Amino acid sequence: MRGRRALCTAAKRFDVVVVGGGHAGCEAAAAACRVGARTLLITQRLDTIGVMSCNPSIGGVGKGTLVREVDALGGLMGRVADEAGIQFRVLNRSKGEAVWGPRCQADRVLYQRAMRAFVTRELGPRFDLLEASVGDLELEPATSLGGPPRLSGVRLADGRLVSAASVVITTGTFLRGRLLLGDSATDGGRLGERPSGAIARTFERLGVQLARLKTGTPPRLDGRTIDWSRLAPQHGDSPPEPFSFLNASVRNADSQLSCHMAFTTDETHRIVRDAQHLAPPYEGAEPRYCPSIDSKVRRFPDKQRHQVWLEPEGYAAHTSVVYPNGISTALPLAVQTALVRSIGGLERCELVQPGYAVEYDFVLPTQLEHTLHLRSARGIFLAGQINGTTGYEEAAAQGVLAGANAALWSAGRSPFVLGREEALVGVLVDDLVTKGVTEPYRMFTSRAESRLSVRADNADLRLTERALAAGVLDAAGDAARVAAVRARARALREAEAALRAISCSPDHWATYGLAVSRNGVPRTGWDVLSSVGTAAGGAAALLTRMREAGFALPELSPPIERQLAIVARYDPYIRRQHVHSADLLARGNRLPLPVDLDYGSLHGELSNEERERLAKARPSTIGAAACLEGVTATGLAVLLRHAKRAESAAATAAG
């Protein structure tokens, strides 16, 4: 990998310096280069660029939409996952497309290899790599009285100065990171790698507020010592669905591996309970939606078993290691061995690496602008876990925005900001900078008010032209992407227009074998397609019958037909969603919540987190509830319903 040639940097000034080579850092560097910035990526170790620190998977519910949005903005993660994926599945297929979650298991070796190849091959002559540690940030005094200082460069730990207009800091869990295992505590951001403390001291000098968070990882297992015959397999989708809109298929479509399902037992829970006193003390809050097995046993004492997914970390040619998703822990190694062997099928299992926890500093994200620009100093942008998020996908999405905005800012151009109604990454950033976080933030589709329109399937239609207009995509370098999305958008527009131009009575539609409500109201072809839904073959069969009946409809490829059916299905619901959003904006924020509302009783309506936070805060209005961390758009809709019900009951009683 090239990169050590970069010092030449003493005499070179960069538009953007990216600190950190993880998911956020790689995307930030790539985004800055796409804008046209001279970019340097600094990492402590070149051989860890693109490494998957924790679980060997990409995507999922909410997260998969983020990956598609990263791809639509020109990012790398979707294409890398398509190269390295060893099992592809779309989660939530039994539900509507708005909550589908594209996901893949990845081969760790292939993923890192592909990411490094993209970074070194695609970013071009404006990009440099440097293996070094950062010691400090160089700042110039404010140019105006009372204004913030401005970045002038990055000081390396060995004293050398890299001149730069802006910096994107993506230190992940390395900012004063501390590794915990049993009674052992060592400094580090990842097993075997030293932490980064210097930038934390720079932040403190600037008056930036820091706090602590905690994450963890499970022990790794030797797959050759697992009794696979006793475990239920889960296979991938056939054919697999790619992440990237540039790809028609994935590299390993014909050689997908299976995951397997296991469960903890009463004995597992006894072992964990008896060893609770051996768990290391933590300062930071752990991820609510990815808790340790210790937390699960403590929080859910009546639950008889917890699911454990055994996920291969790669093909046999690369590794025999298995990732047991669901039993993250930092208990002593002997306890970890015992709890693993208490699970059916794992009685003889050997551990190849213990689980451990990481505590690290993060910046309270309410100190950021929506561009991920730090307010207290000009030219400093932050992305990834340093902002209080958890997950590869959340980090990558922030990296794209931070890298693009750092490059735009350095060039004196307008910033690139996505609204909540435009993208899931817009929801992510808005939640961070307006609500803040007290625990690691994870993306869910339920957080988005416009989740019916902000879907995984239409990310390119929503964002690619937007990015091109803002200069975040390069018209020449991204010509294939732009041409593809324009062709898709044109085909959908023409097909929708043709369907809306067809209008028949219910009786007329019935002559074609199409069941339509016999109320005498004429229906357009678009109305009929909306009612058919998106069941496999349903839309295609309908369009075929319309063509056979002589209606003028364009010929469409199967992917476009599927997309058209999704758009038609959600069209009436999206219109209602807009009315609901307008109602909420017009009066819902001021609507009082019932003072006696028992949040604890709203099981099935509100999430555990929402019930907990609402019961503690007791907000007086819908608007006050909307400002609470962890209260989602779905939760607000529930509260609005209860508030209106109480308002109606009060009016009836008074009348």
pLDDT, tens only, 160-169:
999 999 999 9
Q: Is residue 66's pLDDT more than 90?
A: yes
How far from chain centre, in Å, is Cα 343? Answer: 31
Cβ-contact 598, 605 below 8 angstroms = no
Do residues 58 and 103 touch, judged by C-beta distance below 8 A?
yes
| Average pLDDT of span 278-282 | 90
Residue 650 confidence (pLDDT) above 80: no
User: pLDDT higher for 424 or 535?
Assistant: 424
| Residue 536: pLDDT band with limits 50, 70, 90 | low
Q: Look at residues 218, 45, 231, 229 and name the one whose alpha carbon lies nearest to residue 129.
A: 45
Task: Record the tokens describing residue 281, joined without a space.
Answer: 């003390």
Query: Reduced to 3 states, what is the DSSP secondary structure of residue 41?
Result: strand
At residue 82, does pLDDT exceed 90? yes
Rounded-to-integer distance, Cα 56 and Cα 428, Å: 23
As a whole number of angstroms, the distance between CA 599 and CA 606 comes to: 8
Determine whether 103 is exposed, middle or buried from the number of CB atoms within 10 Å of its CB (0-12, 13-18, 19+): buried
List all residues 6 or more positions away from 365 whose beta carbon is below 8 Å from its beta carbon.
382, 387, 388, 432, 433, 436, 437
What is the per-residue pLDDT for 517? 77
CA–centroid distance for 540 within its chain: 32
Mean pLDDT of the chain: 92
Helix and strand totals (H; E) in the chain:
19, 22
Q: What is the pLDDT of residue 520?
A: 79
Name the more confident of 67 and 120.
67
19 phi and psi angles, rounded to 5 deg: -105, 110
**What's the CA gap between 334 and 548, in Å, rounded?**
70
At which residue do the structure tokens 């975040």 appear?
472
Query: Averaged over 381-408, what is the pLDDT?
Result: 98
455 vs 508: which has the higher pLDDT: 455
Task: Name the pLDDT band for 590 (thresholds 50, 70, 90).
Answer: confident
106 against 517, higher pLDDT: 106
The predicted pLDDT at position 4 comes to: 42
CA–CA separation, 426 and 214 (whole Å) = 25
Angle formed at CA 155 by CA 154 and CA 158, multiple of 5 degrees: 145
Q: What percent of the chain has pLDDT over 70?
A: 96
Please tell me the predicted confidence (pLDDT) of residue 318: 96
Average pLDDT over residues 570-582: 80
Distance CA 582, CA 602 (A): 25
Mean pLDDT of 492-521: 86
Instruction: Flag whether pLDDT at 581 surpasses 80.
Output: no
Can you tell me the distance from the alpha carbon of 547 to that of 555, in angstroms, rounded to the nearest whole number? 9
Confidence of residue 476 (pLDDT cuts 50, 70, 90): confident
Query: Which pLDDT band, with edges at 50, 70 and 90, does 594 fall under?
Result: confident
Triad 493, 496, 502: Cα angle to 5°: 140
- Tell me how far apart the alpha carbons of residues 486 and 492 are, in angstroms, rounded to a whole number: 10
* Two structure tokens written together for 567: 């758009």
* Mean pLDDT within 591-618: 88
Q: Over the stretch 208-259, which tens digit does the pLDDT of each residue have? A: 999 999 999 999 999 999 999 999 999 999 999 999 999 999 999 999 999 9
Residues 181, 330: contact at Cβ < 8 Å? yes
Look at residues 639, 471, 435, 373 and name the one whose alpha carbon lies nearest to residue 32. Answer: 471
Task: Identify each DSSP E strand in 193-253 by its residue range.
Answer: 210-217, 220-222, 232-234
Nearest CA among 448, 450, 443, 483 for reference residue 464: 483
What percentage of the chain exceeds 90 in pLDDT? Answer: 71
Kindly report, residue by residue over 406-439, the tens digit of the pLDDT. 999 999 999 999 999 999 999 999 999 999 999 9
Mean pLDDT throughout 496-508?
A: 92
Enumerate residues 6+ apart whose C-beta is below 8 A from 637: 580
Q: What is the pLDDT of residue 534?
A: 56
* pLDDT (0 to 100) of residue 2: 46
Q: Whose CA is closest to 226, among 314, 338, 87, 322?
A: 322
Tokens of 260: 């397997």
152 vs 620, residue with greater confidence = 152
Residue 3 has pLDDT above 60, yes or no: no
Bond preceding residue 102 cis, omega within 30 of 0: no
Predicted local confidence at residue 481, as pLDDT: 95
Confidence bin at 582 (pLDDT 50/70/90): low
pLDDT at 626 over 50: yes
Say what the pLDDT of residue 531 is. 83
| pLDDT one-digit tens code per residue, 314-368 | 999 999 999 999 999 999 999 999 999 999 999 999 999 999 999 999 999 999 9
At residue 597, does pLDDT exceed 50? yes
Query: Can you tell me the distance from the alpha carbon of 530 to that of 15, in angstroms, rounded to the nearest whole number?
Result: 49
* Cis status of the peptide bond prior to 239, with omega within 30 of 0: yes
Task: Supply the pLDDT for residue 284.
Answer: 75
Across 18-32, 184-198, 535-549, least confident range: 535-549
pLDDT at 550: 86
Any idea what the Cα angle at residue 84 is, between residues 317 and 383, rounded to 5°?
130
- pLDDT score of 655: 66
CA–CA separation, 104 and 250 (whole Å): 11
Confidence of residue 73 (pLDDT cuts 50, 70, 90): very high
